[in-house]
Amino acid sequence: MLAMAAAQLGYRTVVLDPASSCPAAQVANAQIVGSYDDEQALDQLGAVADVVTYEFENVPEQAARHLAGQGRLFPGPDALAVSQDRLIEKDFLSSIGISTAAYRQVDSQAEIEPAVSALGGSAILKTRRLGYDGKGQARVQLNSPNDAFQELGSVPLIAEAVVDFDCEISVIVARSISGEVRCFEPAVNVHRNGILTESRAPSGQPGAVVVAAKVAGTKLAEALGYVGVLGLELFVMADGQIVANEFAPRVHNSGHWTEHASVTSQFQQHIRAITGQPLGDATSSPCHMINLIGDEVATVPALLADGGWQVHLYGKAQVRPGRKMGHATRLN
């Protein structure tokens, strides 16, 4: 989707990815097939590209710093490093005045019980690195008999307090090289088994919540010295306060609806930001987006027959349970 947005602005795109059949390569001008930590492949990318970006947070930090040393990498490697470790991420959010759920560091099975006790008797254990879409996490209770530490891979963990929230919203924020910031309308999100299933914009939240979400997103982008688009997920509490869940240093699934419903999509906004262009109008029309997960891709003919849905399939070769195969958006 970033490659498609770049093409609309007259830019040519080269993709570095280990899989020659990756979706991005299907719409890019060229591909370098190589692992993300292959220095030869990284050097080849750095030599041919005027601007380099990344679109998921599991790119090795070392690879990002290698490219940053060669030229223009946006967003910078510091934002990537913060987002890759949930403990560092929570510490950073707290340090800049963005509230999070209470949390504790957990580095062994023996540390789980005191952490859960301190968090009220129930907590979500998460791997500090690499988890997404509900992976790498487990809910635990005080005096739970299971060996959660081992079940999660015996790796560094974070225990987060269970938050009694009304809903989750997310705000998509763009920041340019010059420091210009544009926020999209926050969307309300629904998850199933830890995977985003649908987003609606506007969120239906009071104006004060919407403003607070945009203020938090702007504060985060500025504190990171960020260039590009990021997504900040927020819990809305019963009293209207917002609590940050996590952020992603990239265009975000909960903003895919901007492709169809916004004057400037999050994808074009990202390309504008990293190439030094002015940011576009982030005004949006009310809309509903659904993710097509696993076998739900089979509903595409019905969505097309309906006439109101704009369908975007990602070109993934295999359908697997829990895998996002595409999304569909309709204005309403």
CATH class of 167-331: alpha beta
Residue range(s) in the chain whose domain bears CATH number 3.40.50.20: 2-83
Q: Which fold has domain 2-83?
A: Rossmann fold (3.40.50)
Residues of the chain with pLDDT under 50: none
Q: Express each pLDDT in 279-296 by its tens digit.
A: 999 999 999 999 999 999
Residue 142 confidence (pLDDT): 80
Integer Cα distance of 137 and 149 in angstroms = 10
CATH code for the structural domain at 102-161: 3.30.1490.20
Closest CA to 251 of 234, 225, 272, 236: 272
| pLDDT in the model for residue 44 | 95
| Cα dihedral 279, 248, 55, 254 sign | negative
Q: Are strands 242-248 and 228-236 parallel, antiparallel or unpaired?
A: antiparallel
| Res 143: pLDDT | 74
Q: Where in the chain is the domain with CATH 3.30.470.20?
A: 167-331
Conformation bin of residue 66: beta by default, left when phi > 0, alpha when psi is -120 to 50: alpha
| pLDDT at residue 145 in the model | 54
pLDDT value at residue 132: 61
Which residue(s) pair with 190 in the sheet? 198
Task: Note the pLDDT tens digit of each residue in 168-224.
Answer: 999 999 999 999 999 999 999 999 988 999 999 999 999 999 999 999 999 999 999
What confidence score (pLDDT) does residue 56 get? Answer: 87
Query: pLDDT tens digits for 307-329?
Result: 999 999 999 989 999 999 999 99
Beta bridge partners of 127: 157
Whole-model pTM? 0.93
Q: 């009071």: which residue's tokens?
A: 206
Kindly report the number of other CB atoms within 10 A of residue 81's CB atom.
17
Q: What is the reported pLDDT for 109? A: 87
Residue range(s) of every CATH 3.30.1490.20 domain in the chain: 102-161
